[in-house]
């Protein structure tokens, strides 16, 4: 297995793509039942049923690019994002990510519930590989952005889900990420905070951060991303200017509709 | 190979301590007498065993321990059992909760990037705090018992606890590197562990002298690491014996420790990357 996530030397950063996928494949094994699962602990399963989530995916993303990722449910979008954020790992192929990744995906997850909001800022900071001085610097910015007031020193278990989301969002956008991963289906509480979030995302994009934007909505992809990747059944079908990619996607959808009518 | 686990711990020490404190709070939260459960539960267990064996089955007043001298070392049953059962409480919790730890902390595996092996460390630490608290109570009893029987309250052999206690923590941490990922894959494996645990208690020398066996059984008892720790705690507080005095016991344990350690690293690395897919 050559499935390492390689960290490149800082000197080489300027020329290198910020994210690079090389022949990345990922297969989920579907166990027939619990016995098969238990057996698989000790023996390799023979001809197991599998689901190829990603199939030989390769692409490069340069620093500062904004990329849209489109495709139907189950096309492998979330698997791809999980790999970029370092949650999931490929079976084969190589993934290189040169920089801090902020993921606006599951904002309420990954908190330690007995810790205070402030302590969780440090926890998340350390997980992202930041040092203490840096976290101290951005701590106030995060607290201010999350609008938590005195709640910041209360345990996170006392937070409403909206508060957790706000804190999660505030941490992710204030660490000055090199890569921002956004899911369009993201919901961040009430209307006024939603506007604030949209503005912040726009600000980050404007500042030249690399953005990966996942969406079903063609219009919003067109608005943000000049380049898009279309995934179908785990494979890259088209990778190019957004207009082209969306046309391929649209054509495919229509061809399916036609087939159904027949 | 070991580097993957070490790397995950590097620079994360303070966070591990904070998370272990959290884990402790979570365990006892919501109960009226909260942390007292950490004492009440073991105290009741000790009482039950004492009642059954000393007051119920009236034969067991004293235990003769075969330490290799001409005469067995004689000690009253309650003290013998009490010193051995305190490490057992830690061992039992470590094996059961240790194997469940990844499943119960799955939000750190499937939702965010996280140094997964530290989950086993901080949950283990939270159990160690409870153990240290019980250890203080035990030491109080040991001093009381010594004074009562006309011995000096402190003994130089007591310092060995600094050998046995951290070693016990490390041994069962390394064991969880194997069991926790496997239990995360298969709930059956977790059930298997839970169901054999009460049997393991009676197969170990907590309630009786594990040295009092001959032939194959003698080595079977020596091969049980739980005996190593139960007897080790008794070395400290009762037997006045150094940990290296019984060399066969020590060597067998150390070989097992290396094996469990290596197997733990192997299993953790083998299963780590598939954990987010199965949890």
pLDDT tens per residue, range B227-276: 999 999 999 999 888 999 888 899 999 999 999 999 999 999 988 888 88
pLDDT digits (tens, 9 = 90+) for A21-60: 888 888 888 877 777 777 777 777 777 778 888 888 888 8
pLDDT by residue for chain B (279 residues), tens digit each?
667 888 888 888 888 888 888 888 877 776 666 778 888 889 999 999 888 887 777 666 778 788 777 788 888 888 999 999 999 999 999 999 999 999 988 888 888 888 899 999 999 999 999 999 999 999 999 999 999 988 898 999 999 999 999 999 999 999 999 999 999 988 888 889 989 988 899 889 888 888 888 888 888 889 899 999 999 999 999 988 899 988 889 999 999 999 999 999 999 998 888 888 887
Burial class (CB in 10 A: 0-12, 13-18, 19+), A10: exposed
A87 min Cα distance to partner chain B (Å) = 5
Q: Which residues on chain B are in Cβ contact (under 8 Å) with A27?
A: none
Which member of A38, A110, A114 has the closest CB to residue B111? Answer: A110
User: Could you give the angle at the alpha carbon of B179 between the alpha carbons of B178 and B182, nearest 5°?
Assistant: 90
On whether any CB of chain A is under 8 Å from the CB of B45, the answer is no
Residue B3: inside a domain: no
Residue B256: inside a domain: yes
Residue B6: inside a domain: no
Q: Which residues on chain B are in Cβ contact (under 8 Å) with A89?
A: 273-274, 276
Residue B7: inside a domain: no
Residue B271: inside a domain: yes
- ipTM of the complex, rounded to two decimals: 0.75
On whether any CB of chain A is under 8 Å from the CB of B182, the answer is yes
Domain count, chain B: 1
Residue B203: domain span: 12-278
Which member of A41, A109, A119 has the closest CB to residue B18? Answer: A119
* Whole-number pLDDT of residue A157: 87
Q: How far apart are CA A173 and CA A123, in angstroms?
A: 16
Relative orientation angle of helices B247-271 and B161-185, to the nearest 10 degrees: 30
Which member of B22, B115, B182 has the closest CB to residue A115? Answer: B22
Q: Using a cut of 0.80, tell me whether the model's pTM lies above it.
A: yes
The domain limits of chain A are 5-99+216-261
* Whole-number pLDDT of residue A3: 44
Q: Which residues on chain A are in Cβ contact (under 8 Å) with B22?
A: 112-115
Please tell me the CATH code under which domain A5-99+216-261 is placed.
3.40.50.300
Cβ distance A112 to B113 less than 8 Å, yes or no, reads: no
Confidence grade of residue A2 (pLDDT, cut at 50, 70, 90)? very low
Name the residue among A79, A107, A106, A110 with its Cα closest to residue A95: A79
For an interface test with B, give the residue of A3, A27, A83, A112 to mutate (most B CBs within 10 A).
Answer: A112
Distance of CA A239 to the CA centre of its chain: 18
On whether any CB of chain A is under 8 Å from the CB of B28, the answer is no
Cβ distance B273 to A123 less than 8 Å, yes or no, reads: no
Residue B255: inside a domain: yes
Residue B4: inside a domain: no
Q: What is the dihedral of CA B21, B22, B23, B27, to 10 degrees?
A: 100
């Amino acid at each position: 297995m050559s499935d390492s996530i390689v960290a490149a030397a800082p000197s080489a950063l300027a020329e290198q793509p910020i994210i690079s996928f090389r022949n990345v494949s990922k297969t989920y094994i579907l166990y027939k039942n619990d016995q098969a699962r238990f057996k698989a602990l000790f023996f390799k399963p023979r001809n197991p049923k599998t689901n190829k989530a990603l199939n030989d995916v390769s692409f490069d993303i340069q620093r500062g690019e904004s990329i849209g990722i489109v495709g139907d449910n189950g096309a492998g979008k979330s698997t791809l994002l999980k790999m970029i954020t370092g949650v999931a790992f490929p079976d084969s192929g190589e993934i290189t990510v040169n920089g801090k990744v902020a993921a606006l995906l599951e904002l309420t997850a990954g908190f330690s519930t007995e810790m205070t909001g402030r302590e969780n800022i440090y926890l998340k900071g350390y997980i992202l590989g930041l040092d203490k001085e840096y976290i101290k610097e951005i701590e106030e910015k995060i607290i201010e952005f999350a609008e938590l007031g005195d709640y910041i020193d209360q345990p996170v278990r006392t937070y409403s889900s909206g508060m957790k989301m706000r804190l999660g969002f505030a941490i992710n956008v204030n660490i000055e990420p090199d890569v921002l991963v956004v899911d369009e289906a993201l919901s961040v509480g009430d209307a006024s905070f939603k506007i604030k979030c949209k503005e912040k995302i726009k600000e980050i994009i404007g500042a030249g951060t690399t953005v990966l934007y996942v969406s079903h909505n063609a219009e919003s992809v067109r608005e943000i991303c000049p380049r898009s990747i279309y995934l179908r059944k785990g494979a890259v079908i088209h990778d190019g200017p957004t207009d082209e990619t969306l046309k391929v996607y649209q054509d495919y959808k229509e061809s399916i509709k036609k087939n159904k009518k027949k | 190979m070991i580097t993957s686990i070490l790397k995950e711990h590097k620079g994360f020490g303070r966070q591990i301590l904070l998370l272990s404190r959290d884990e402790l709070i979570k365990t006892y939260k919501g109960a009226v007498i909260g942390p007292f459960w950490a004492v009440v539960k073991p105290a009741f267990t000790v009482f039950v065993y004492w009642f059954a064996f000393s007051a119920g089955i009236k034969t067991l007043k004293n235990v003769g321990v075969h330490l290799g001298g001409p005469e067995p070392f004689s000690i009253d049953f309650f003290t013998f059992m009490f010193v051995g059962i305190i490490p057992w409480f830690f061992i039992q919790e470590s094996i059961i909760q240790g194997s469940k730890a990844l499943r119960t902390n799955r939000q750190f595996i499937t939702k965010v990037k996280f140094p997964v092996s530290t989950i086993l460390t901080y949950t283990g630490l939270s159990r160690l705090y409870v153990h240290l608290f019980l250890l203080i109570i035990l030491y109080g009893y040991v001093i009381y018992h010594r004074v009562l029987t006309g011995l000096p309250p402190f003994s130089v052999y007591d310092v060995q606890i600094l050998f046995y206690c951290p070693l016990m923590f490390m041994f069962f941490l390394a064991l969880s590197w194997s069991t926790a990922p496997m239990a995360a894959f298969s709930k059956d494996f977790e059930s298997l562990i839970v169901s054999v645990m009460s049997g393991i208690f009676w197969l170990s020398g907590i309630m009786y002298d594990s040295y009092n066996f001959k032939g194959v059984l003698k080595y079977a008892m020596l091969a049980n690491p739980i005996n190593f720790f139960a007897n080790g705690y008794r070395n400290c507080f009762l037997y006045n014996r150094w940990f290296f005095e019984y060399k066969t016991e020590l060597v067998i344990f150390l070989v097992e420790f290396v094996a469990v350690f290596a197997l733990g690293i192997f299993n953790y690395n083998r299963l780590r990357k598939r954990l987010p897919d199965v949890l």
